[in-house]
Amino acid sequence: MAEVSTKPWTRPHDWAEVVLGVVALLSPLWLDTDNAAMWTMIVLGALVALDGLASLAMPGMVYGEGIQIVLGALLFISPWVMSYTDMTGASWTSWIIGALTIVAGAAALPVANAAHGRMAGQS
């Protein structure tokens, strides 16, 4: 198990991040949103998915998990900041995906730290 985390494209935490980002990115297709909610979800969803892809490609990149946690927090607070709490589907999607992104990032931190340590020792 420990060896798997140093191989690119194998970490489940990062795959979860990609899926969560894609769901957030595409959710305005089936949710009622206004312009601010739509673009917030598209941009933050795309950034979450791209960060997940970067973490998958470079498993020793520890700061990617920190970025993931920050993006999750931004997605979580976005219904209040961008004033779309009255749009139930969009706001709950932002809250749930934001929280899950934070949890996945926090769970991936020890794995990324271990991968970073092993990769640094290999060079």
pTM comes to: 0.86
Mean pLDDT of 84-98: 97
pLDDT at 19: 97
Cα(66)–Cα(93) distance, integer angstroms: 21
Residue pair 92/118 in contact by the 8 Å Cβ criterion: no
pLDDT category of residue 1 using cuts at 50, 70 and 90: very low
- Mean pLDDT on 96-115: 87
Looking from the CA of 10 toward its CB, the CA atoms found within 13 Å total: 12
Q: pLDDT by residue (tens digit) across 27-59?
A: 999 999 999 999 999 999 999 999 999 988 987
The DSSP letter of residue 60 is: T
